A and B are shown apart, each in its own frame.
Chain A
Amino acid sequence: MTHRGSRVLHVGALSRVEGEGELRLRVDGARITEARLRIYEPPRFFEAFLRGRAHTEPPDITARVCGICPVAYQMSSCQAIEDVCGVAVTGQLAALRRLLYCGEWIESQTLHIHLLHAPDFLGHSGAIEMARHHRPHVERGLRIKQAGNAIVELLGGRAIHPINVKLGGFHRVPTRTELGPLAERLRRAREDAWHTVEWVAGFDFPDAGADEEFLALAQPGTYAMDSGIPTAMAAPSSAGLSPESSRALPTRAFPVRDFERHVAEYQVPGSTALYSSLDGKRHLTGPLARYAISGRWLSTVAREAAHAAGLGDPRHGTVCRNPFRSILVRAVEVVHALEEALRLVTDYSAPAVPSLPVPPRAGTGYGATEAPRGLLYHRYVLDAQGTITDAALIPPTAQNQSAIEEHLRHVAQSFLDRHPDPDDEQLRLLCERAIRNHDPCISCSAHFLDLTVERH
């Protein structure tokens, strides 16, 4: 191979993600010196135009940040505004919210697994092409997704941007008889989801490790989804371990209201997405973090699925730090969400009222829930009339961006070590995979992938 100088590898318009972005790698000799994810999703200014809106509006408005996880936005915003107004939604209303969230987890994670991520492992450009060779798997994915959509459609009115969510609960709550038929469908989907775990467990996973702190909500006794306390798990290097270590490390927690004291946003040139750090360091939210922090609270069947899939037993403190295996954790989470949904449907009795009153009050409120892609934080400041005077939304993608860049640098470097003169197309495919490990979802932060490699 001839000696090469520094050059930039440029991956244009990333595919099978939601949102737009590109990737730029700078290669000096044989070393990758910079990996930069440039998100060029046009800014949409949600935090700005929420100012001046009524406190009742964020569930409808912020849903429009993301077509893949609107429920997450609705739930984080309700929680934050109810926090200002001193209202706690409990009992069957809270159970219905959790059921709605389960619906989104099922359809959104299943979309990510079957339509966006699995084609990478099987060498296909997308699910439609993959369906020519693996039709039963794609059809099974679509069936599971339908079960998730059925929940969101029944409770929310429609699968994308549900209309039935309001502060304090719902506009209308279903009767037990209306919810009943979901049970059989969820049982079938749980069977399908188990087969998806088996299918995904057979994929070939590259070796990789995440050396970031994990950040997820924790709610002892349950696999945190719709509420919990932000909890960070130390990075392996801080304990002298390798990034691939599967040992659980010490955790520390902080109240949701202190979130912005720990997670700080910052901006870099050329990207409309804001970056963030956790106490000054890179961190990762999403399935790997949730599994590390809440894995022991998975349902029995989901834990068995995890064990059968080779993820180890989270009750014994086993964690997974290989970002490529996040697809496996997602598949396990779908089993869990289906079981949880089934439990909620079976135990349901209609609440006395569809919603609690949430009269406005001046103050600041905080909310955080586990969107399928990771922790989603909202803060609102209201005046006494309930007009929003300030709003902050910190989505998972923005939190993960720095970690994703680090993973890209590692993945690209190890590839370069093995193939000193790779063609850019191979490198682009690998980088796209590394991104889809975490996210199909860039419009939250601000879509994708253009790869530029700068070689010097």
Chain B
Amino acid sequence: MSGERRPTMAVWKFASCDGCQLTLLDCEDELLPLAGQLDIRYFLEATSAAGPGPYDLSLVEGSVTTPQDAERIQHIRSVSRHLVTIGACATAGGIQALRDFADVEEYLSIVYAQPAYIDTLAHSTAISRNVPVDFELRGCPIDRGQLIEVITAFLSGRRPHIPDHSVCFACKRRGIVCLPVANGTPCLGPVTHAGCGALCPAYGRGCYGCFGPSASVNMPAFIPLLHRDGMSDTDVTRVLRTFNATAPEFADASGAPPAPAQPEAPDPPEES
């Protein structure tokens, strides 16, 4: 019996749009075969059955934005053997991290007539800023093929094969004409993590960086190219401050103040 035990998996959600966990349900051809190899114990979006941990694999979507969530992620880490973040929110704070560049009190007053009813942190932090993370899968949203690679790698006990080079590599491999070179179209491809398959260039559009920074980026050399292709300083700041605004390379290049050394978790987590 124990020799046939399927690894247990849980899928968790923090502040996000659900798009990354939905990617799992979008694996139409692979969904049922995958589900046969895993014991999906906790996945609120897909099942109302909630089984106890510990979990061999936890997939975490979303960023930490509330005092309660800062505690919840500590608990999830303590019941998870492997913790993998899925998506730009979990890996880089997500679009909701735009609050980090603003006054959250002012944000509250814009959206809510009664800001006092709302409990939120001034920052939106990546999961790795709260707890140790075993692997980070990038993208807003993540790529279906990469997600399947991460899960199958986990099932076979190896490291996922997710290259950390830039979108440019994927573009060259697909034989797409370089948009900045051929048309002067501003494109974040040179500094953006691969994973989408160079989707935007394939549609004639400059990359807007939704997978966040790639492994080695040289922003001081790159930004003048964006200027050359017609982007103003404001445009550059805007494009860097969207879905991966607090990824360190993008944040630095957009002139962000340094992020807090520690996210404002209210209390030390209890060991459980």
CB within 8 Å of B: which residues of A?
Answer: 13-20, 40-49, 51, 53-54, 57, 60-61, 64-68, 70, 111, 115, 119, 125-129, 131, 135, 138-139, 142-143, 145-146, 149, 157-161, 163-164, 166, 170-172, 266-272, 274, 354, 429, 432, 440, 443, 447-448
Bound-complex Cα distance A158 to B184 (A): 25
Interface residue SS majority, chain A: loop
Q: Cβ of A48 and Cβ of B47 under 8 Å apart? A: no
The residue in chain A whose Cβ has the minimal distance to the Cβ of B27 is A142
Residues of B91-110 at the interface with A, using a CB-CB cut-off of 8 Å, are 94-96, 98-99, 102, 104, 106-108, 110
Q: Cβ of B46 and Cβ of A126 under 8 Å apart? A: yes
CB < 8 Å A-B pair total? 191
Distance from A127 Cβ to chain B, minimum over Cβ atoms (Å): 7
Chain A contacts for B199, CB-based, 8 A: 157-158, 163
Q: Per-position contact with A for B196-208: 1 when CB-CB < 8 Å, else 0?
A: 1001101111001
Q: Per-position contact with A for B222-260: 1 when CB-CB < 8 Å, else 0?
A: 000000000000010010001100000000000000000
Q: Cβ of B102 and Cβ of A49 under 8 Å apart? A: yes
Instruction: Give the contacting residue for B44; candidates A13, A49, A64, A139; CB below 8 A.
Output: A13
Chain A contacts for B47, CB-based, 8 A: 15-16, 125-129
Q: Cβ of A115 and Cβ of B140 under 8 Å apart? A: no
Distance from A16 Cβ to chain B, minimum over Cβ atoms (Å): 6
Chain B contacts for A40, CB-based, 8 A: 68
- B261 adjacent to chain A (CB < 8 Å): no
Q: Cβ of A45 and Cβ of B210 under 8 Å apart? A: no
Known: A61-B242, A128-B46. 9 other contacts (CB 8 A): A40-B68, A43-B111, A57-B238, A64-B94, A125-B48, A128-B47, A145-B26, A166-B205, A354-B204
Chain A contacts for B120, CB-based, 8 A: 42-43
The residue in chain B whose Cβ has the minimal distance to the Cβ of A53 is B238
The residue in chain B whose Cβ has the minimal distance to the Cβ of A143 is B28
Q: Cβ of B18 and Cβ of A68 under 8 Å apart? A: yes
Instruction: Tell whether A447 pairs with B46 under 8 Å between CB atoms, given A44-B95, A163-B200.
Output: no
Q: Cβ of A171 and Cβ of B205 under 8 Å apart? A: yes
Bound-complex Cα distance A159 to B23 (A): 9
Q: Cβ of B140 and Cβ of A64 under 8 Å apart? A: yes
Q: Report the 9 A-B pairs with minimum CB-CB distance, sorted nearest first.
A: A67-B19, A126-B47, A125-B49, A15-B48, A48-B107, A49-B98, A142-B28, A42-B15, A171-B205
Q: Cβ of B32 and Cβ of A44 under 8 Å apart? A: no
Instruction: Give the contacting residue for A20; candidates B13, B46, B111; CB below 8 A.
Output: B13
Instruction: Tell whether A68 pairs with B22 under 8 Å between CB atoms, given A42-B15, A44-B96, A48-B102.
Output: yes
Instruction: Give the contacting residue for A111; candidates B20, B25, B68; CB below 8 A.
Output: B25
Chain A contacts for B71, CB-based, 8 A: none
Chain B contacts for A47, CB-based, 8 A: 110-111
Q: Cβ of A45 and Cβ of B98 under 8 Å apart? A: yes
Q: Cβ of B203 and Cβ of A139 under 8 Å apart? A: no
Bound-complex Cα distance A172 to B95 (A): 26
Q: Cβ of B32 and Cβ of A128 under 8 Å apart? A: yes
Chain B contacts for A51, CB-based, 8 A: 110
The residue in chain B whose Cβ has the minimal distance to the Cβ of A15 is B48
Instruction: Give the contacting residue for B28; candidates A19, A149, A172; CB below 8 A.
Output: A149
- B153 adjacent to chain A (CB < 8 Å): no
Instruction: Tell whether A18 pairs with B45 under 8 Å between CB atoms, given A128-B40, A157-B199, A443-B16.
Output: yes
Instruction: Give the contacting residue for A157; candidates B14, B50, B203; CB below 8 A.
Output: B203
